A = this chain, B = another copy of it.
Amino acid sequence: MQYELYYWPGIQGRGEFIRLALEDAGADYVDVARLPEGSGGGTSVLLQMLEDPATGHPSFAPPFLKAGRRLIGQTANILLYLGPRLGLAPRDEASRLWAHQLQLTITDLVAEIHNSHHPIAGSLYYEDQREEARRYSAYLRRERLPKFLGYFERVLDENARGRQRFLVGSATSCADLSLFQVIAGLRYAFPRTQRKLEKSLPLCVDLHDRVAARPNIASYLASTRRIPFNNDGIFRRYPELDV
C-alpha cells in the first residue's frame, strides 16, 4: 500500500514529523500536494480534501494521511497509527502509551514555538504582531525552552541508566525522530539561544546527531525532498526574537 501524505507543499511544518517517519522506514508514500497541479497536486487538493463532505473523518487542518481507505488526521495521531506499521513504536501497550505521551508533549512544545512568531493570530502577518512576538519570545527562551528541553534530557537520562540511547525502550521510535526535528528547527530559529541551552543538553544533542546519521534520514536530509527551513514554517529565523 502506498501512503498518501497531505500537507502544505512549501514548508516542513507539522507535516515534517510524518515525513521523517515515512522516510526513516523507507515507506512507499507520495507527498500529494507537492505533485504538480496537473498530476493532482498543489494546495488546492488539500483544501478540497478538507471541505469535501465525501471524505469521511474530515481533518480540522493538515497534515492528514490516506492509508488505503482510511483518512487520519492530527500529527501525533498519524504517528500513533504509523509507528507500529513502520517499526517505529515499542511493542507493549504501556510503552506505546509512554511514547505517545512524549509525542504529545512535543506537540505542545511545537505549538509554543509556533506562537513565538504568531502570539496574537495565525491570520495576521508576523509584522503585525512583532511587538507581542518579542515579548512572548523572551519568556519562551528563558522559561519554556529550558523547561521542555530539560524534561526530554531527563527522560533520556532515566532511560540511559538502562544504557539505552533512545527516549523509549531500546529502539528508535517516532518520538526520537520528532525530537531530532525540534532540535534542528530550534537551531535554525534560535541559534543564539540554542547554543547556550545545548551546553546542558548533551543527551538531546547526541540523540539529534544519531538520528541525523541514520542512513535513510541522512539521505533524506541531503535530498530535494527535504524542504529547507524557511520563514513560512513553524521554525522561523527572526534575529530580533533570538536576542
- A60-B151, A74-B105, A155-B58 known; A120 vs B100 contact (CB < 8 Å): no
Asked whether, in the complex, the Cβ of A104 is within 8 Å of the Cβ of B155, the reply is no
A36 within 8 A of B: no
A158 within 8 A of B: yes
Contact with B along A131-146 (1 / 0, CB 8 A): 0100110010001000
A203 within 8 A of B: no
Interface residues contributed by chain A, number (CB under 8 Å):
40
Asked whether, in the complex, the Cβ of A58 is within 8 Å of the Cβ of B154, the reply is yes
A204 CA to B124 CA, complexed, in Å: 29
Asked whether, in the complex, the Cβ of B97 is within 8 Å of the Cβ of A72, the reply is yes
State the copy count for this chain: 2
A139 CA to B136 CA, complexed, in Å: 17
Asked whether, in the complex, the Cβ of A81 is within 8 Å of the Cβ of B97, the reply is yes
Asked whether, in the complex, the Cβ of A105 is within 8 Å of the Cβ of B60, the reply is yes
Contact of A101 among B53, B72, B154 (CB under 8 A): B72
Contact with B along A48-66 (1 / 0, CB 8 A): 0000010011111000000
A74 CA to B107 CA, complexed, in Å: 11
A104 CA to B150 CA, complexed, in Å: 24
Contact of A120 among B107, B139, B151 (CB under 8 A): B139
Contact of A115 among B115, B148, B155 (CB under 8 A): B115
Contact of A132 among B56, B59, B120, B124 (CB under 8 A): B120
Asked whether, in the complex, the Cβ of B123 is within 8 Å of the Cβ of A139, the reply is yes
In the complex, chain B residues whose CB is within 8 Å of the CB of A238: none
In the complex, chain B residues whose CB is within 8 Å of the CB of A123: 139, 143
Shortest Cβ distance from A155 into B: residue: B58
Asked whether, in the complex, the Cβ of B132 is within 8 Å of the Cβ of A104, the reply is no
In the complex, chain B residues whose CB is within 8 Å of the CB of A73: 101, 105
A residues engaging B (CB < 8 A)?
Answer: 53, 56-60, 70, 72-74, 76-77, 80-81, 94, 97-98, 100-101, 104-105, 107-108, 111, 115, 119-121, 123-124, 132, 135-136, 139, 143, 148, 151, 154-155, 158
Known: A80-B100, A108-B111; 19 extra A-B contacts, CB below 8 A, are A56-B158, A57-B98, A57-B101, A58-B151, A59-B101, A60-B105, A60-B108, A60-B148, A72-B97, A72-B101, A77-B100, A77-B104, A81-B97, A111-B111, A119-B119, A120-B132, A120-B136, A121-B143, A123-B143
